[in-house]
Structure 1
Amino acid sequence: MSTSRLRQLQRDDLADEHKPVYDAIVESRGAVAGPFGVWLHSPEFADRAQRLGALVRYETRLDSRLSELAILVTARAWDCQLEWTLHEPFATEAGLAPELIEAIRLGQYPEFDRDDEQTIYDYVAELVYNRFIQERTFATALDLLGDGGIVDLTGLIGYYSMAAMTLNAFQVPLPKGRKPTLVDCPTFR
């Protein structure tokens, strides 16, 4: 995959001291793709971002269903075609109902079968759309997640907001063969 505003760096393009960053990204994610192709233009940033990304996605107190819900709400708020299109299958695999995913995709308030999903949705949506969280929403999320869990959730939202901003600012295209699933958002080529 290439970026449309910056060229895709290969391992050999990096100084020897930065090649381990490239290797770590490939080892943890299988390839340099998404925002990582952009971030490698600043190897120190790429290194810290990929480690933070691994932490917030795979090593938090949140189960994958709730993490993917938070990622989808964040991607939708940023109208980030790539982030949404890549994470929608993960959300389905993690157990989110198709109707819930579709409502978020359409920008509608979903109907919830599970209280924990409503709690996560409300917290994320308030933060990414309103930039603040109401006391009641915060208290409900804190009850569900505890102190560490609510910090993990907020960090995940921040990380995926940063990724979405990068993907949109640098117009990172979808991988070849992937069709966009957010029909009202830009698709970069």
Structure 2
Amino acid sequence: MPDVSPLPQGYAQPAGERLPLPDASAMTPAQRQAAQALIDGPRKGVYGPFLPLLRSPALLERAAKVGEYLRFESVLDARIRELVTCAVSRHVSNQFEWTMHAPLAVKAGVAEATIEALRLGARPKQLPPDEEVALDFTRELLATHGTSDPTYAAALRAFGEQGLVELASLIGYFVMVCWVMNVARTPAQASAAGPGVDAFPA
């Protein structure tokens, strides 16, 4: 019988979840209000980074709004958003975001071979031009904390000023929530399908 337990986050042993969902009876009114806002919004539940963020309801509400815009309303195409989210979650070895967004990336039109290359820590090949630009921008920003003039110019041509700013913000947002989950050892959802990511070096 296959193991259906959630993929753990973090590679220390034991890798138990540090900040799980608090019991409803132990929540403060502010926590209950923040949780209900997530349930009533497009996410339809409290999971992933919002489990640890629930310890700071005001921060959760503000982070959720930023993420809601970047995920659902950004001028960037969904295919680009999902590809970049996968690249970020692979970079920081986050199980939750990887297992959530890898299937969404494929559904949005990213090639399965591209996602598998990212999962293995390799640079995907034969990408559409806009994906090439987005991935170059993402990897350079993650590695150097900025972008060179050629990379900036290519992203500006591909996505415009608003798209470029939202691309950099998307990268920063997902690094932040991945870091929070890495610290909290928030596991992937129990329903997650497909392989997770291994710690670097793979």
TM-score under structure 2 length normalisation? 0.85
Cα deviation code 1:5-42 (max 9, x no counterpart): 12412454333344331111112212110010110110
1:36 is matched with 50
Residue matched to 2:22: 9
- Corresponding residue of 1:68: 82
Partner of 1:182: 196
Q: Corresponding residue for 2:39?
A: 26
Confirm or deny: 8 A CA contact 2:39 2:46 kept in the other structure: yes
CA offset digits 1:159-181 (Å, max 9, x no partner): 10011101111100122243562
Seen in structure 2, the aligned counterparts of structure 1 residues 183 and 56 have a Cα distance that, compared at 3 Å, is: closer
Quote how far apart the aligned CAs of 1:120 are: 0.3
SS state of the match for residue 156, structure 1? helix
Aligned equivalent of 2:103: 89
How many residues are treated as equivalent by the alignment?
A: 185
- Partner SS state of residue 196, structure 2: coil
- Note if contact 1:77-1:129 (Cα within 8 Å) is conserved in structure 2: no
2: distance between equivalents of 1:20 and 1:183?
33
The runs of 5 or more residues in structure 2 that have no matched partner are 1-5, 7-15
1:17–1:175 CA distance, 2 compared to 1 (3 A): closer
**Which one scores higher on RCO, CA 8 angstroms, separation ≥ 6?**
2
For residues 135-162 of structure 1, the C-alpha deviation after alignment (integer angstroms, 9 at most, x for no partner) is 1011000111111111111111111001
Structure 1: which 5+ residue stretches go unaligned? none
Q: Does 1:54 align with 2:63?
A: no
* TM-score (normalised: structure 1): 0.90
